[in-house]
Structure 1
Amino acid sequence: MKILKQALLAAMVTAAVPLGSAFAETPADVLVVAQNIDDIVAIDPAQAYEFSSGEFVTNAYDRLVQYDAADIETLGAGLASEWTVDAAAKTITFKLREGVKFHSGNPVRPQDVLFSFKRVVVLDKAPAFILTQLGWTPENIEQMVTLGDGAVTIKYAGDFSPNFVLNVLAARPASVVDEATVMQNEKDGDLGNNWLNANSAGTGPFKLRTYRPAEILAMDANPDYFNGAPKIKSVIIRHVAEAATQQLLLESGDVDMAKNLTPDQIAGLETKGSIKIETYPQAAVHWFSFNQKVEALTNEAVWEAARYLVDYKGMTDTFLKGQMQIHQAFWPAGFPGALTDTPFTYDPEKAKKILADAGVKLPINVTMDVINSAPFTDIAQSLQSTFADAGINFEIIPGTGAQVITKYRARTHEAMLLYWGPDFMDPHSNAKAFAYNADNADDKYASTTTWRNAWAVPEEMNKATMAALAEPDADKRNQMYVDLQEQIQQKAPFVIMFQAVQQVGMQPKVSGFVNGATSDFVYYRLVEKN
């Protein structure tokens, strides 16, 4: 452990200060974070679709409208200083903020907004559906996004409320990139995708200095940021997968913050009192799923029985204590339209009866892919134990976050233990993920849990999901989402178990860190070390 610690510290020191410098603790103007970031597949905002990459995009890029560190509950001005809505014409016109420059020094132009949206649609990477749901295609994007003098008008096709559209435009793939810089680094028609997965070209409060996958992500402050220069000079996020190592580095003062500590570690640190613990409710829901390409997992009795084979309370009372709460619906508690009923408890005898009554042939042997870090491996081991008693045997296959997610997107898993956070703060974001799949064909990729688990959603549910999206009455719309969640609770090939609570350990001198309900609401620009 001592050798590992010294190696990690040496790497952080090298990244934080010029060669030849040395110090006994982290520099006063650098925030050093220990975090498991091996879930990152991409950092290009047109492709980034993981939790850790979301944190980076939020801090390096801006959108026309966005939530900000100073007020994470209110959608406000970003690169647009004001906007005008014409609901009848299904258009919103944005006036760009004057004087804003990219990290390169290039001014932000209406053309950059069109370019940014167009490259998302043309590249068609994992998060592209967030924008294309507005009716945008490679063929019509230049008619749907038109330019004026310091202004951009966007048009949308569909029965959406303007507030829904604004929330879409506040999402990660709507980040505005520097066209001139990106296209200077284009290779083989990739619209700069390869380059932007190792560099940044935004306007945000930080710019990328170094990114090495599953090793380090370092950002330097943008002193000219239009909302005010960050209070910290640099942020270094060091990949540390092991919670024990994170605690060691935190207690020794080698890092300022640790993000993946276990409940036992949190309790121990609180008792000692030398490290402060900050708690942040999260929008992520944790669940496991059955791939419907696996014949043994297509029987609905298996889905039903599975809901009674999870020891929800046992897990939240022990190794998940303080970091998860029982939640069994796809939209997180604390937001309008959430279903908070928890009808399922651990009842193995009931599960066995369900399987027996349905004539399910046992045992069922199934592999379960899981991210190789806490709390995922602990949850998987609990499921392995409780399911085995009913004749469902899980073989746990651990992997890095990127490996697990890549396999999931390819639909080559059998069972999958993962988490899901909203792509934007509207219940349709999760409803489309858990209750909609219009085309289940292998060549019709969709960034949803339904498609990735090869579940052909009943047409009635598809229609109900789209009807909720179009409903103009807010109260009626919320009830429609509650109804959808009840249906998914009863009949779907996945079991939603928990809603996350983020606990972060940090040095007492650290203040100003903002961690909202999703990874897109993690902000470093107000951090100070006093």
Structure 2
Amino acid sequence: MKTTKGIRAAFLSLAMASVAFIASPALAEGKLTVSSPQDPGSWDPVDTFLVQWAAVATNIFDGLTYRGPDLKLVPGLAESWEELDEGKRVRFKLRQGVKFHNGEDFNAEAVKFTFERLLGEEGSKGPQRSNYVAIDSIEIIDDYTVDMKLKSPDPVLLTKLAGYGAMIVPPKYIAEHGEEHFNTNPVGTGPFKFISYAPKVNIKLEANADYWDGAPKLSELEYRFIAEPSTAVAELQAGRVDLVLPPTIPIGMIDVIKNDSKLELVSVPGPTVDALRFNTRDGITKDPKVRQALTMAVDRQAIVDQILAGQASPIASFQGELSFGYDPELKPLPYDPEGAKKLLAEAGIEEGATVQIDVRGNDQTMNEVAQVIASYLQMVGITATIKPYETNVLLNDIIPQGKTGAMFQQKWGGWTFDYDNTAYSMYHSGEKWNPYDSDPELDKLLESQRPLTDRAERERILKEIAAYAADRALEMPLYNSNAIYGVNKRVKDFVPAPDNRTKFDKVSVE
């Protein structure tokens, strides 16, 4: 039998526990499962350019700036910034009280470490460094103020700081665990913390309750890597996946989603463009006349209308109309099979000549498009064979090493919505995505626009670059695709990002 004193103690203990329970913030509930078509293989921001990396990593890492689905640039880990010394330096005031997922403080040292790493030996191993070469150094003013000194002005710098290589990383964690460990065990300051990663299977994240922009509404976020589109859609229908990311859903399966009462199709114009680029070094596509002929042989508007169900628009250069540098006056080469035959004859190409088209094997839509393109080429006397590759093999080995056929698929996100980000990577000598071509005149144009702060002059040069590339027919421009998401209706407050970089901290599930 309890004494009065014991009863009072028990009551007091119960009351204190009740108070503690009331005072504690409600924990987020609900798991969102997302299907992504590609495992980037490394979660280190300096290692990749892949949109599917950013689709996941936007939820793990933060940049100094942030650009959301409305494409407006807002503060991220930097609360504010100002240009000094006539644009030769940018001063960032950093957000205080932010911690990395491992408990490490975010501060000026982390910013300095991030950019010295990106611009140093580690960054030189990956494709991101060239986007940030305008940065000369980072100077720490105090614990929460840094100056970014510039070698030259970069009009797109603040946008670049919102993604990819500029994501802020933890110095102590990387020093303690090493680069290889960080590749597969990422730590950032973002709304979700890393739990586990099974290559080519999934990556699991949990809510960061202490996130500086508020705790996520979800408790768990899992990305499953499902390369086969029909499998991804089947998992969505079965309820084992809540959301399918672009560019998974092939046009032929749009009606499958639209006709399912549990699902909805969400489509928004995006930055992604598709082209078949040419091997300008070897074979018949060395000749610009041949490249022009192959382009004129293909009815790209018919492909958009009939194969893509209108979920895209034809392009004249390797950018969409939302891109800074887009020229509405630049028209695609016309569909003109007779003109194509004439150019091929002038180039001395005999009927029956062959070309190989390299594509991503898991891109069902492009595989269908490539078959149609092969049929068009057959009508002008060119026999095309289609060679599918596993995506990572095509992107990391075949293209950069200059081992493609005459034509190869290039799908490019253009996530800055600025043509420089695309054109410099595609056309400048020595760049990873330009294994065949070296053109001093084009290099000069590309370099001349980067330091300009005069927006109108810079736009004029970007348009000139687009026209120059079109005149030389460096690729067969195909189309600018919509970003198509398949979503279970139990997902609430989902706002689709045109660039596929969706933060899920404000999303909930029923």
Which TM-score bucket, shorter chain as reference? 0.7 to 0.9
Q: What is the aligned partner in structure 1 of residue 17 from structure 2?
A: none
Q: Which amino acid aligns with 1:62?
A: D
1:257 touches 1:507 (CA, 8 Å); kept in 2?
yes
Q: What is the aligned partner in structure 2 of residue 344 from structure 1?
A: 333
Query: 1:152 and 2:146 equivalent?
Result: yes
Q: CA deviation at 1:464?
A: 2.2
Match for residue 433 of structure 1 among 411, 425, 435: 425
Unaligned runs of at least 5 residues, structure 2: 1-27
- Looking at structure 1, the residues matched to 71 and 290 of structure 2 have their Cα atoms a distance apart, in angstroms, of 40
1:371 touches 1:399 (CA, 8 Å); kept in 2?
yes
Q: What is the aligned partner in structure 1 of residue 103 from structure 2?
A: 105
- Looking at structure 2, the residues matched to 357 and 238 of structure 1 have their Cα atoms a distance apart, in angstroms, of 51
* Deviation >6 Å, runs of 4+: none
For the structure 1 residues 89 and 32, does the alpha-carbon distance in structure 2 shift closer, same or farther, using more than 3 Å as the test?
A: closer
2:67 touches 2:159 (CA, 8 Å); kept in 1?
no
- Looking at structure 2, the residues matched to 147 and 400 of structure 1 have their Cα atoms a distance apart, in angstroms, of 44
Match for residue 399 of structure 1 among 378, 389, 395: 389
1:65 touches 1:166 (CA, 8 Å); kept in 2?
yes
Query: 1:518 and 2:491 equivalent?
Result: no
Aligned-pair Cα RMSD in Å: 2.2
Q: How does 1:128-527 map to 2 (within 5 A)?
A: 128-134=128-134, 136=136, 144-149=137-142, 150-158=144-152, 160-161=153-154, 163-186=155-178, 192=179, 194-259=180-245, 260-340=248-328, 341-373=330-362, 374-406=364-396, 407-414=398-405, 415-422=407-414, 424-437=416-429, 440=430, 446-447=431-432, 449=433, 451-452=434-435, 454-457=436-439, 459-519=440-500, 521-527=501-507
Q: What is the aligned partner in structure 2 of residue 91 from structure 1?
A: 89
Range with bigger deviation, 277-286 or 362-371: 362-371
For the structure 1 residues 31 and 331, does the alpha-carbon distance in structure 2 shift closer, same or farther, using more than 3 Å as the test?
A: same
Q: Which amino acid aligns with 1:30?
A: K
Query: 1:529 and 2:509 equivalent?
Result: yes
Range with bigger deviation, 200-209 or 361-370: 361-370
- Looking at structure 2, the residues matched to 209 and 342 of structure 1 have their Cα atoms a distance apart, in angstroms, of 49
* Secondary structure class of the residue paired with 2:116: helix
Q: CA deviation at 1:280?
A: 1.9
Q: Which amino acid aligns with 1:171?
A: G
For the structure 1 residues 131 and 117, does the alpha-carbon distance in structure 2 shift closer, same or farther, using more than 3 Å as the test?
A: farther
2:128 touches 2:164 (CA, 8 Å); kept in 1?
no
Q: CA deviation at 1:299?
A: 0.8
Q: What is the aligned partner in structure 2 of residue 56 from structure 1?
A: 56
1:515 touches 1:523 (CA, 8 Å); kept in 2?
no
For the structure 1 residues 349 and 491, does the alpha-carbon distance in structure 2 shift closer, same or farther, using more than 3 Å as the test?
A: same
Q: CA deviation at 1:165?
A: 2.6
Look at both structures and tell me which one has the larger radius of gyration over its CA atoms: 2
- Looking at structure 1, the residues matched to 156 and 485 of structure 2 have their Cα atoms a distance apart, in angstroms, of 31
Q: CA deviation at 1:221?
A: 1.5
Q: What is the aligned partner in structure 1 of residue 6 from structure 2?
A: none
For the structure 1 residues 292 and 65, does the alpha-carbon distance in structure 2 shift closer, same or farther, using more than 3 Å as the test?
A: same
The normalised TM-score by structure 2 is 0.87
- Looking at structure 1, the residues matched to 452 and 173 of structure 2 have their Cα atoms a distance apart, in angstroms, of 42
The normalised TM-score by structure 1 is 0.84
Q: CA deviation at 1:86?
A: 0.8
- Looking at structure 2, the residues matched to 89 and 479 of structure 1 have their Cα atoms a distance apart, in angstroms, of 21
For the structure 1 residues 317 and 157, does the alpha-carbon distance in structure 2 shift closer, same or farther, using more than 3 Å as the test?
A: same
* Secondary structure class of the residue paired with 1:59: coil
2:131 touches 2:421 (CA, 8 Å); kept in 1?
no
Q: What is the aligned partner in structure 2 of residue 78 from structure 1?
A: 76
* Secondary structure class of the residue paired with 1:127: coil
2:192 touches 2:207 (CA, 8 Å); kept in 1?
yes
1:218 touches 1:234 (CA, 8 Å); kept in 2?
yes
Q: CA deviation at 1:339?
A: 2.2
* Secondary structure class of the residue paired with 2:71: strand
Q: CA deviation at 1:28?
A: 6.6
- Looking at structure 1, the residues matched to 323 and 385 of structure 2 have their Cα atoms a distance apart, in angstroms, of 36
* Secondary structure class of the residue paired with 1:95: strand
Residues 377-396 of structure 1: per-residue CA shift (max 9 Å, x gap): 11221222221232333322
- Looking at structure 1, the residues matched to 149 and 130 of structure 2 have their Cα atoms a distance apart, in angstroms, of 15
Query: Percent sequence identity over matched residues?
Result: 24
Q: CA deviation at 1:98?
A: 0.6
* Secondary structure class of the residue paired with 1:104: coil
1:182 touches 1:201 (CA, 8 Å); kept in 2?
no
- Looking at structure 1, the residues matched to 346 and 388 of structure 2 have their Cα atoms a distance apart, in angstroms, of 33
For the structure 1 residues 343 and 399, does the alpha-carbon distance in structure 2 shift closer, same or farther, using more than 3 Å as the test?
A: closer
* Secondary structure class of the residue paired with 2:303: helix
